[in-house]
Amino acid sequence: MTAINQLKLTNYTNKRSTAMEKKPVKIVETVLRDGHQSLAATRMRISDMLPALEQLDNAGYYALEAWGGATFDSCLRFLNEDPWQRLRTLKKHLRKTPIQMLLRGQNILGYNHYADDVVREFVNRSVDNGVSIIRIFDALNDTRNLECAMRAAKEAGAHVQGCISYTLSPVHNNEYFAAYAKTLEEMGANSICIKDMAGLLRPYAAESLIRSLKAELDLPIDLHTHFTSGMGDMTYLKAVEAGADMIDTALSPFSESTSQPCTEALVATLEGTPYDTGISLAELNALADYFKDVRKNLIHDFNLNANIPIDPKVLTFQIPGGMLSNQMKEMGVADKYPQLLEEMPRVRAELGYPPLVTPTSQIVGSMSVLNVALGRYKMIPREVKDLILGKYGRTPGPIDPEVKRLAIGDAPQIDHRPADDIPPQMKKLREKLAEEGFPNAPIEDVLSYASFPEVTLNFLRHSNIGMKFHDL
């Protein structure tokens, strides 16, 4: 390289600062979980992952988010894969980098609350089979729904990451989030994640939120955003400058749109600064080349939508476009989408401003569709009544009294931890699975059955044992 070229290169890369203390940012790579959950309908198979695992393991990531979320359901439902076997295979090949999973607190990986014995067993088996970091969230930010899972994860020796489900509303502000995070710290969290599932966290808001959290607690802070609104990179940069310790990114073929910001871009942004991640861009480029083909294959094999645009309207409506379009079509009111966009924020306010994440996004979404199609609160689904009754936990704001009257009349709302009403389930689940013809099922299968009964039975009956990647 000539001196002139070298000079040019230096001018265009980041200036090295000696004045500031080094504070390397840690990168959580999401290509094996959220990346393909967001952009490829969670269809990445273990066979797609295997050829890249060694290189992912050596890249220098803080963690690889690779399990939980929707991957468990997708394995059983669509991919003829045992999710537990996938986890063991991942663990076998990822010798250095911790595997991280996403857990919905008392909902585990399903949509309802489970008994404590199921939650404990699920967490135990996850750690035993290879998970090192468990990110645990609750849709309502009700700490009572995290207690059992957090305690179990701690006892199993995992790193417990307590989650803030981030949202915008008159009752959610920095003080609220900081107080919530403080409680998570007191409950034993090893780190805190700000989970911005819809990409609502704006750059300067991220800066002030991170500062508030840093002032309140001593734990490392991980920021998880989605590029949905088009602000993700800027949000990460301001968060890093404000002291965020980890950020979640996805390799370029599975980044941006509704997924995380791009790993290579963030690594390049921070290179040569006090926040330098220490990850080599050349390594990432090679990995990106590999995953580019994987994306192409998944789109082809599963006939997926290849083009998911960013959607800044999410900032106004807090719901990614298209999420409810199927439901609208089914109800024959596809043309009433503009009304729906007005109805959603209204319903959300009436239901006490829940953050919109599984399962509350579905609950608020369905209620809004029904209101638009049939008239306001003419038909109220059981899930909405349960939310109002307190069966999902405490809503952040109060429920509108008129809506409450329409939905549950004079029935009292529960004020205790919802799972206290659920008797132990493991023994019954075992018995049921035995009745279905699997008397000696390993405990992992019982937990799959607990999470997705029909899908699991179907898998157990039809899966070809030889296909389960025992030798990989």
CA–CA separation, 401 and 158 (whole Å): 42
The stretch among 31-39, 79-87, 177-185, 262-270 that binds Co ion (CB under 5 A) is 31-39
How many residues bind Co ion, per CB under 5 A? Answer: 1
Tokens at 236, concatenated: 């990460």
DSSP three-state, residue 247: strand
Instruction: Quickly tell me which residue has 């490829």 as its tokens.
Output: 40
The stretch among 27-35, 75-83, 113-121, 341-349 that binds Co ion (CB under 5 A) is 27-35
Backbone torsions φ then ψ of 435, nearest 5 degrees: -60, -30
Q: Pairing mode, if any, of strands 159-165 and 63-68? A: unpaired
Quick one: 34 or 386, whose CB is closer to Co ion? 34
Should residue 34 be labelled a site residue for Co ion when binding is judged by CB under 5 A? Answer: yes
Quick one: 68 or 418, whose CB is closer to Co ion? 68
CA–CA separation, 164 and 334 (whole Å): 34
366-393 burial string, b = 16+ CB within 10 Å, else e? bbbbbbbbeeebeebeebbebbbbbbbb
Cβ at position 259, least distance to Co ion in Å:
8
Quick one: 34 or 445, whose CB is closer to Co ion? 34
- Ranked by CB distance to Co ion, the top (closest) residue is 34
Type of residue found at 77: R
Should residue 65 be labelled a site residue for Co ion when binding is judged by CB under 5 A? Answer: no
Shortest CA distance to 415 belongs to which of 142, 209, 119, 80?
A: 142
DSSP three-state, residue 3: helix
Should residue 73 be labelled a site residue for Co ion when binding is judged by CB under 5 A? Answer: no
Diameter over CA atoms, the chain: 81
Cβ at position 50, least distance to Co ion in Å:
24
Residues 271 and 12: beta-carbon distance below 8 Å: no
Quick one: 118 or 314, whose CB is closer to Co ion? 314
Site string for Co ion, 118-147 (x = CB under 5 A): ------------------------------
Site string for Co ion, 155-184 (x = CB under 5 A): ------------------------------
Cβ at position 411, least distance to Co ion in Å:
35
Quick one: 38 or 89, whose CB is closer to Co ion? 38
Quick one: 38 or 252, whose CB is closer to Co ion? 38
The stretch among 33-41, 151-159, 378-386, 457-465 that binds Co ion (CB under 5 A) is 33-41
The stretch among 30-38, 113-121, 136-144, 151-159 that binds Co ion (CB under 5 A) is 30-38
**β-bridge mates for residue 221, sequence order:** 192
CA–CA separation, 113 and 134 (whole Å): 18
Quick one: 99 or 384, whose CB is closer to Co ion? 99
In the complex, the residues that contact Co ion under the rule CB under 5 A are 34
